[in-house]
């Protein structure tokens, strides 16, 4: 479990480290691990959870953080279980939540008199879709699914050079491989909602 934590931390903070390429493994000395003050936390959790659940537990903690580079084991000890339970619940009802978020976007378009394309335009700062995420009105997963279907993130990366977007862009790129998203299904849902 300790190695999973280290691998997840490197994955979300280092551009060139890939959790999947290294199969979630990193080098760690056992003697160093045994001397850690949080040794019992790792041991207790590893006895309670399966390998997949441990991965999800860690993933949820890094994804829920505003800045994954600032996540440390104390955060995971305090909020890890709640993050994991919320993340699991959200993933079990992903389609419903995405529909809710798309409804929020449709309402936003109507009140601001935006077209669908306007939601993703970077004129004058952050695009409206990104602002909806920042305001907590749509989820990170919805933003990722929209990008998987529409492929707008590379354009945002070129046009927006602010620290908030750069941090979020890295988080999205690192989170995306963990999600198994049937893009055809969500493309159909988007057509139903926006057309």
The reply to whether 14 and 56 lie within a common domain is yes
| pLDDT tens, residue by residue, 43-84 | 999 999 999 999 999 999 999 999 999 998 888 999 999 999
pLDDT for res 35: 86
Q: What is the CATH number of the domain that holds 13?
A: 1.10.8.60
Token output for 150:
């529409």
> What's the pLDDT at 146?
96
pLDDT in tens, 101-150: 999 999 999 998 889 999 999 877 899 999 999 999 999 999 999 999 99
- 117 and 105, same domain (yes or no): yes
Number of CB atoms found within 10 A of residue 183's CB: 11
Verify that 136 and 155 share a domain, yes or no. yes
Which residues constitute the domain of residue 11?
A: 2-91
Torsion of CA 171, 176, 179, 181, to 10 degrees: 140
CA 62 to chain centre: 8
If one counts the domains in the chain, the total is: 2
CB 5 within 8 A of CB 73: yes
Do 16 and 85 reside in the same domain of the chain?
Answer: yes
Q: Which long-range contacts (CB under 8 A, 24 or more apart) does 186-189 make?
A: 186/98, 186/145, 186/148, 186/149, 187/149, 189/95, 189/98, 189/99, 189/102
């Amino acid at each position: 479990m300790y190695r999973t934590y280290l691998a997840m931390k490197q994955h979300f903070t280092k551009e060139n480290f890939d959790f999947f390429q290294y199969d979630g493994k990193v080098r760690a000395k056992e003697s160093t691990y045994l001397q850690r003050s949080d040794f019992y936390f790792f041991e207790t959790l590893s006895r309670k959870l399966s390998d997949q659940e441990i991965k999800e537990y860690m993933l949820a903690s890094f994804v829920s953080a505003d800045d994954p580079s600032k996540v440390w084991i104390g955060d995971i000890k305090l909020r890890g279980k709640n993050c994991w339970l919320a993340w699991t619940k959200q993933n079990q009802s992903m389609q419903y939540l995405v529909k809710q978020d798309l409804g929020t976007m449709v309402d936003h378009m109507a009140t601001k008199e935006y077209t669908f394309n306007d939601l993703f335009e970077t004129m004058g700062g952050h695009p409206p879709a990104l602002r909806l995420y920042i305001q907590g009105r749509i989820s990170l997963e919805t933003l990722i699914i929209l990008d998987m279907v529409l492929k707008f993130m590379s354009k945002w990366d070129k046009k927006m050079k602010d620290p908030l977007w750069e941090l979020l862009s890295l988080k999205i790129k690192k989170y995306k491989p963990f999600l198994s998203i049937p893009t055809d299904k969500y493309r159909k849902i988007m057509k139903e909602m926006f057309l």
